[in-house]
Structure 1
Amino acid sequence: MKNMISKLQGIDFKQSDIVRKDMHFEYRSRPCHYMEDVDQWATRYGGAYYNYLYLIENGEEVTPPLGMRSSVPLGGFGAGTVELRADGSLRDWNIFNNGPASGLKKIVDEAMFYVWIKREGKEPLLKTLRTHPPAFAPAIDQITYSGAYPIARLVCTDDALPMTISLYAYSECNLYNEQASATPAVTFSFILENKVEEDLEMSLMFVLPNVIEGTYCIDENMLKLYKEGTKQDSGDMALIVEGEGLSITGVQAESLYGIQRHYGAYGEFPDYMRKPQKENPIDGAVGRMYYKPRMKNYGCLSAKAVLKPHETKQVNVVLAWYFPHRFHAGENLGNYYADLYKDARDVGEKVLKRLPETLEAIEVWHRICYDNTLPVWLQEAMVNSLATIAKTGMWFGDGRWRQWESFSCPGVDPIHIQFYRVMPYAWFFNGLRRSQLLGFAACQQEDGYIQENLGRGTDRLDQPIGRMMGDGCTTFILQVYQDYLWTGDRDYFHAMWPAAKKAVQWQINRAKAYGLPHHLNNTYDWWTFEEKDMVSYNAFLHLASLLAGEKMAKLMDDSAFASVCRQAFIHGQQVINDTLWNGSYYLAWKNIKDKQHPDTLLSDTLYGQLWAEILGLGLTVDADKLTQHLASEQAINNSPYGLKVMHEEGRERDALNGMLYSPDQEIPRDELVWEAGSLDWCALNIYRGGDLDESLKEAEKIYTKWQNGLQDQWDIRDLTTAWNGEPYCNSHYARQLILWAIPLALSGQQYTAIEGKLSFNPRVTEAAKLPFMTPQACGTLEITQDNNFALRIVSGCLHVKALYIGKQLVGENMVLKKDEVFRGTF
């Protein structure tokens, strides 16, 4: 236990904030296009209002402390999550298979921890570990919240407490092991320190409301809540307590107030009260006229101990769940974790045995994200990026992994969104990404077209309901190449090549009319691109996918098809330059027959070129034109909160002067920030040799907005306004995981498992420590100004035949295991 205490206390949190019981919070109505709301998965579409939390000070709306609007989601990949907020409340319960396809949101306000303390000769002291508990419950004075996925910390302080209470809440997350990251449980580790020169009798209690309308049972150190049947909430939950010198008791009752009264007096429950009785004194403690419980009944588990003067003790409480019946559009597809565990007790007991390994895995993840010289805002963005996988992922009983676009827009794996969020998958959990790719290949049309998605919440899984898109086939092609390039798995590549080749051929066929694919929508779908002859965003993805198609054809010894790809690329490149280049930038779209057309500039036009850089495919157009286009995006579409998504001649608006559109007005589509545009601009500008400070400042706008301005970094939306930076559309979005292109651009990392070659071309001008990531291993590259370097493995095992820094070969035939370091000069 002492080793665990030191590990927990040694966890580095970059951001913290304080919630006090005298703070007043309110939800206020805000306009949006559509959004996830407090009590529903989505508002109405197309101009609506949602509720956003504010701190009210002197009647004014103020951004609330970090951890109040959103917090670290706790749970497993595809297993459901719950959030422990900065006020100590547990929110966003979606562990009951209650996602957009099969249920409603659940608010479980009475789930909470209590602490009880008794000093010699004094009355017992009772507090909830919440600053704003239900009205009858005693509040704690103050909580300091910190979070860095997959762990959060609450430090609870109160002038009346003769002890310090630190609560760490965390989940299992293991790089390169998706199964070990799919555990349906949260561990709450309490570190309790006696601050006085006398013994303290103290106790912790967790209240678990009967949210599933099931049956409680208590067995030694476990409280179990179970429900028979095959409904989505049939299954069980378990609370299991572990610690040295604990007296553990539990009880179930109708009245939460009654539980509180008895626990407040004794800090535990005597034997005669632990089984429901007709005249249970807890049930009758308060008459119905005084308190009407919100839930049918309650179960609780308490752990009592004595703390010696200045003694520190750790108590672990695991909340585990096991709900094997996940429904999707009425079909019971089950949960993958049901194959890993027998019930909630099995989950909880195994989680407790694995706690040392769990903390080590968290430390590894944090080292990748924090042990470097990257800006703090980028470190924070990286460490919390995996949260969306846990939050919106689904892992079905038959092994299929799928992910919502978002809860408020419940498409299943729209490929144009899935590709933006693919990098952490491809490096750390590639088995999950391959499941998605196999799904796209299985749903491919006969003519080669890759469908936009794998269904919606109202449709059977893997029954696509989508549009004709310019970023469907292209992103599939690039992913197939990316997988082979980074894994070297020839068998998987051979299995996927037929589908990839058909997708390339579809792109070529679609471009026959104009030389570029025509009349196709894309992820920026508010501009009716399907009505346009040519769209630059689609064109750059098209050119990048042709380069990937050519590479793959050569790898398959298909020289004829490689030549077809090359000719299509040359023709497409000529057309985009002749038709869409206006001398300063590439027009967002053009209709060939129109004699006049507006100057239009879409931020993120060059997304396809960014992927060409990441995958080492080369240039899609002249380097000078790329540089000019990037400069134009910055000059024309700039705003304090990120790049405005579109400039359209004749649609200029001045919305930066506090103007707030209401849902009754026209959607301010051009005056919005689609967050990924600034991130892509930053990474590509670095790749193209742009100024580092200018590049990073553009991306920093996005993350400082969420981390500091809105203090809502665990619920990043896809769109915000350019006039005040507030959320405008979607929820718990993952397009922003393209942020991982930024550290790649800074290090200039290129990795080909096919050749066994890892190379770096750092863009930094000073000594630096940068992360590197591959599907085999990850770690850091440290370089000094006198051209020394150290390559350190943090996780996995790296096999390379050749290691390059710049153009210099610095290592050959290397096998580096975890914690090993290779040093040299360049």
Structure 2
Amino acid sequence: MPHYTSHHRTGSGVPLGGLGAGKVEIMPDGCLTNFTHQNNWDRPLGDPSGLNAVDARVGNHFAVWARRRCADGGDRDTAFARMLHTVDVGGLPGVQRIEYTGRYPFAHLVYVEPGLPVEVQLDAFSPIIPGDAESSSVPVAVFLFKVKNTCQAGWVDAAIMAMARNTVSAWNVGRFNEAVSSGEARGVLFSSDSPLPTDPAAGTVCLATCAGAGEVTVCTSWNLKTADPFNLTLANQNIEPWQEFARDGRITPRDCGTVQGEGVELAGALAVRFELAPGETKHVPVVLAWHMPQTHFGHVYEARYADAAEVAADVLRSWEELRTRALKWSEALEVAKGEAAERGRVGDALPDWLADALLNNLYVLSSGSWFDRSGRFALFEASRTCQLMNTVDVLFYSSVPLAWFYPALEESCLLQLAQAQRPDGYIPHDLGRGRVDYPSDGTTAPPPWKDLCPKFVLMAYRDVLWWGGRRLLSEVYDPAKRAMLWAMASDLNGDHLPDNEGADQTFDNWHFRGANAYTSGVYLAALAASQRLAEMAEDSDFARTCRREFQLAQESFERQLWNGRYYRAVASTGGGVQVGGAGSPSSEACTASQLTGQWYAHLLGLGYILPREHVASAVREAVRITGSASAHGAVNAVLPNGSIDRNNPHSGNVWPGITYTLAALAIYEGLVGEGLELARRVWESIAHRSRNPWDQPDVIDSATGAYGFGDHYMRNMVVWAVVFALAARDAGVAKVLGRLRGGVVTG
């Protein structure tokens, strides 16, 4: 699993937050940052612009206190108090080092500080539970501190302090904090009485712990600002409860009321004090919960909770069960490893790096999802740089694990797209930018994109096949049929393949004219799927139409694109043009994505859409040629002379999602080692070279490995395609998928 220390520079931390609820990230230096829980996916808290902008990390901290008891029962030893960070927080002492491992939805931190009489570890997580969308959508981050007395012969008094800054509402004036004492919950509720009706940051936040965790003391509010009201930083902040906490592990109740001027930045804190026998370990749960309903579409969690205090109380009642269920992700993979060991296949069927890549690529569920009050679910293409919702050409990839783990959420995505279908049958590119009610035709439209309708058909067939059955078929068959008819009509020259008219497919900076391998291959797979759907719907006429068109399209694909070794990028009769039309066409390039349609056909059991021997050759050549051109994954296109095709912004780079699908296809075709190695190189580049696995791009520079376009990009969730390919060959891996599979959606 990604393992870092506080000395590493990392670009992201494990995101903590429910599906569609926003998140906060915990970093290897112990800090909390990149808050998007206030409906601010595109602008995480702490943006440096503005007169009173404050670093998101300020005021959100943890600390430990410990003191040995003398063996003779006399006076106690000197107390130790440390901020659980390695950065300078208010000039206070911190720990020497933090060891950090991330395996979404968990982050594990070990705080290293010689001399402390206790060992402190933290499991930070959100209850992201396979198959349970309701529990997974709770707006909360859970921090479970594990404090162990390392003394062999003496008792230790210890305490944990947690503090948070009030960021409710767009303006600090009007903010106030209240003490919380509800059921088992004890802590602070952060609110504001001044938000405008249009303020997306309006709502409540709650920092709380369990009453039974120990002796709980609460400081409701104080001012973080020092004498300089314009200079509030990590190092220059007033941690007012520190002195008393450092003295005896308790803090004093105080409340400075509602903020009346901009010279006040409120914080609140809680402390939990307890005693530890020699060798004893104590678990202290702390939750940071939020409730931010003031956005046009709202959140699904509003139906369950009135405010953040209710969220906190609910989670604190059941945190142990939620943690156990959230661990199911990792446990399923560990069981698979154990079973592989029993069969003498240690590290073969499911290597450690792949287990890490699988879980950590699901981070988008917390970082880039939207789950509104009416139950509509959507994924951002990229939550900051491209806020288009349920982008079809990318959802085609990312929805593979979504459909398997959360069928109801995938069904929501599919039906929203069906409802957005244009009168002529065209499936739009997305549902809107930062909204799900106003679809658009594409980032480069016009012309309309040629890969969207075939991809919709394949997703519809997949969902019917995997869990939807006849119930879902009755809802999606007509939209899928109309989409297939639109795709058929996109053949403008009578060659039975879609005619690209520019940058009108997922490679939207790569211009094609006529038939190209990527779009036409997906089209072939869609024809096969459409025939199956028609047969299930007892639409024999359309089934015959699809079968006839498939045969004609397959013959045309072979005739125009097969070059004897692989399928060329662009049909020899259609030619290809680059951005701006400059330079000679690179139609003969070997592309990593040439058989994307065959990958999906294998995934859905559709068989071979092209001659088997040609597929085997093309996959072997694609892995060899595009896979050897970069240390960071498969390059999108390589010219016949072996040089990288740099004729446009997309062809010469590595796209992790495309590499993962090529790796999966290689495994289906028997190149298991080669496929795994290709996928491993991408993951190693992301997790170890860039050290940024929880904020991935769509594009990686093929020469340097530097991140290109995109953030929190949803396409890379398709790394799970590698597991589906392995499962087709290994019953043990298939069991992993079975253990994690979401329940069947019922009508």
TM-score between both structures, scaled by the size of structure 2: 0.85
Identify which of 247, 258, 266 aligns with 1:297.
Answer: 266
Q: 1:184 to 1:142 in 2, by over 3 A?
A: same
CA deviation profile, 1:458-478 (whole Å, cap 9, x unmatched): x67333252321221011101
The answer to whether 1:440 aligns with 2:417 is yes
2:360 matched to which residue of 1? Answer: 384
Cα distance change of structure 1 residues 239 and 517 upon mapping to structure 2, 3 Å threshold: same
- Which stretch has the larger CA shift, 596-605 or 673-682? 596-605
User: 1:213-232 maps to which residues of 2 (within 5 A)?
Assistant: 213=172, 214-220=175-181, 221-228=186-193, 229=195, 230=197, 231-232=199-200
Instruction: Measure, in 1, the Cα distance between the counterparts of 2:263 and 2:638.
Output: 52
Partner of 2:32: 90
1:400 maps to what in 2? 376
Partner of 1:17: 4
Aligned twin of 1:319 = 288
Match of 1:413 in 2: 390
Aligned-partner SS, 1:334 = coil
Structure 1 counterpart of 2:376, which letter? R
> Displacement of 1:101 after TM fit?
8.6
Q: CA deviation at 1:341?
A: 1.1
Helix, strand or coil for the counterpart of 1:411? strand
CA distance 1:621–1:176, change in 2 (3 Å): same
Q: Which residue of 2 aligns with 1:756?
A: none
Q: Select 1:346's aligned residue among 310, 314, 324.
A: 310
Give me the whole-angstrom Cα distance separating, in 1, the residues matched to 2:325 and 2:245.
Answer: 37
**CA distance in 2 between partners of 1:741 and 1:667 (Å):** 28
User: Which of 98, 107, 129 is the aligned partner of 2:56?
Assistant: 107
| 1:335 matched residue in structure 2 | 299
For the aligned residue pairs, the C-alpha RMSD in angstroms reads: 2.7
**Cα contact 2:429–2:439 (8 A) shared by 1:** no
Decide whether the 8 Å contact of 1:536 with 1:586 is kept in 2: yes
The separation in 1 between residues aligned to 2:120 and 2:381, in whole angstroms, is: 38
1:500 to 480, 494, 501: 480
| 2:164 paired residue among 192, 208, 212 | 208
2:407–2:743 Cα contact (<8 Å) kept? no
Q: What does 1:58-457 align with in structure 2 at a 5 Å threshold?
A: 64=9, 68-100=10-42, 105=47, 107-119=56-68, 120-196=75-151, 197-212=153-168, 213=172, 214-220=175-181, 221-228=186-193, 229=195, 230=197, 231-242=199-210, 243-255=212-224, 256-270=238-252, 273-276=253-256, 296-326=265-295, 332-373=296-337, 374-407=350-383, 408-457=385-434
Structure-1 separation of matches of 2:369 and 2:91: 37
Does structure 1 residue 462 correspond to structure 2 residue 438? yes
Match of 1:678 in 2: 659
Secondary structure, in 3 states, of the residue corresponding to 2:13?
coil
1:554 is displaced (CA, Å) by 1.1
Q: Displacement, 1:677?
A: 2.5
Shift of 1:591: 6.4
Q: Deviations over 1:641-676 (max 9, x none)?
A: 111111246894699xxxxxxxxxx97644311112
Going from structure 1 to structure 2, the CA distance change for 1:341 and 1:593 (only over 3 Å counts) comes to closer
- Tell me, what secondary structure is at the counterpart of 1:453? coil
Whole-Å separation in 1 of the counterparts to 2:364 and 2:352: 20
- Name the residue aligned to 1:770: 733
1:724 corresponds to which letter in structure 2? T
Task: Please report how far the alpha carbon of residue 711 of structure 1 lies from its aligned counterpart in structure 2 after TM superposition.
Answer: 2.5
CA drift of 1:795 comes to: 6.8
**Distance in 2 of aligned mates of 1:445 and 1:95:** 34
Asked if structure 1 preserves the Cα contact closer than 8 Å seen for 2:510 and 2:651, the reply is no
Q: For 2:478 and 2:645, how far apart are their aligned partners in 1?
A: 50
Cα contact 1:142–1:157 (8 A) shared by 2: yes
Partner of 2:450, secondary structure, is coil
Q: What SS does structure 2 have at the residue aligned with 1:769?
A: helix
Contact kept, 8 Å, 1:252 with 1:275, in 2: the verdict is yes
Give the drift of 1:604.
Answer: 1.2
Q: Helix, strand or coil for the counterpart of 1:249?
A: strand
Q: Which residue of 2 aligns with 1:284?
A: none
Distance, in Å, in 1 between the alignment partners of 2:262 and 2:336 is 51
Distance 2:708 2:742 in 1: 40
- Quick one: structure 1 residues 669 and 565, their matched pair in 2 at CA, closer, same or farther if it must change by over 3 Å? closer
Alignment-mate amino acid for residue 501 of structure 1: K
Q: Indicate how the Cα distance of structure 1 residues 399 and 544 shifts in structure 2: closer, same or farther if over 3 A, else same.
A: same
Amino acid at match of 2:395: Q
Residues 1:642 and 2:633 are matched in the alignment: yes
CA distance in 1, matches of 2:264, 2:532: 61
Q: Which has the higher strand share?
A: 1
Q: How far apart, CA to CA, are the structure 2 residues paired with 1:334 and 1:384?
A: 27
Match of 2:571 in 1: 590
2:708 partner SS: strand
Whether 2:591 is the aligned partner of 1:602: answer yes
Match of 1:734 in 2: 714
Please state how far the C-alpha of 1:82 moved relative to its aligned partner.
Answer: 0.7
Match of 2:673 in 1: 693
Residue 522 in structure 1 maps to residue 471 in structure 2:
no
Indicate conservation of the 8 Å contact 1:683/1:741, yes or no: yes
CA offsets 1:249-282 (integer angstroms, 9 cap, x no match): 3231114243323433343234xx523389xxxx
What one-letter code is carried by the residue in structure 1 that aligns with 2:697? R
Distance in 2 separating the partners of 1:588 and 1:536: 5
Matched to 1:621, the amino acid is L
For residue 86 of structure 1, give the secondary structure of its aligned residue in structure 2.
Answer: coil
Three-state SS of the structure 2 residue aligned to 1:378 is: helix
Answer 1 or 2: which has greater helix percent. 2
Is the alpha carbon distance of 1:223 and 1:727 closer, same or farther for their aligned partners in structure 2, counting shifts above 3 Å? same
1:389 aligned partner, one-letter code: L
Deviates more, 1:416-425 or 1:667-676: 667-676
Per-residue CA shift, 1:442-487, capped at 9, x if unaligned?
Answer: 1111111111111113x67333252321221011101111111111
Of 644-653 and 313-322, deviating more is 644-653
State the shift of 1:311 in Å.
2.5
Q: How many angstroms does 1:507 deviate by? A: 1.3
Q: Could you tell me which amino acid in structure 1 is paired with residue 114 of structure 2? A: D
Give the match's secondary structure for 2:557.
Answer: helix
Matched, 1:715 2:695: yes
Paired residues, what number?
Answer: 674
* Identity across the alignment (%): 27
1:110 shift after superposition: 2.5
Residue 515 of structure 2 aligns with an amino acid whose one-letter code is M
Q: CA deviation at 1:427?
A: 1.3
Structure 1, gaps ≥5 residues long: 1-13, 24-54, 56-63, 279-291, 327-331, 656-665, 749-761, 780-793, 800-826
Cα pair distance change 1:192/1:491, threshold 3 Å: same
- Deviations along 1:738-772, one digit per CA (max 9) or x if unpaired, are 22222222221xxxxxxxxxxxxx2x6xxx73144
How far apart, CA to CA, are the structure 1 residues paired with 2:454 and 2:149? 61
Q: Please report how far the alpha carbon of residue 108 of structure 1 lies from its aligned counterpart in structure 2 after TM superposition.
A: 3.1
CA contact (8 A) 2:219 2:241 kept: no
In structure 2, the CA distance between the partners of 1:463 and 1:668, relative to structure 1 (3 Å rule), is closer
Matching of residues 592-631 of structure 1 within 5 Å: 592=573, 598=586, 599-631=588-620
Over 3 Å counting, the alpha-carbon distance change for 1:542 and 1:438 in structure 2 is same
Q: Distance in 2 between matches of 1:403 and 1:623?
A: 35
Is the 2:2–2:688 contact (alpha carbons within 8 Å) kept by the matching residues of 1? no
Q: Aligned in 2, Cα 1:101/1:480: closer, same or farther, shift over 3 Å?
A: farther
Conservation of the 8 A alpha-carbon contact between 1:648 and 1:670: no
Q: Distance in 2 between matches of 1:733 and 1:711?
A: 16
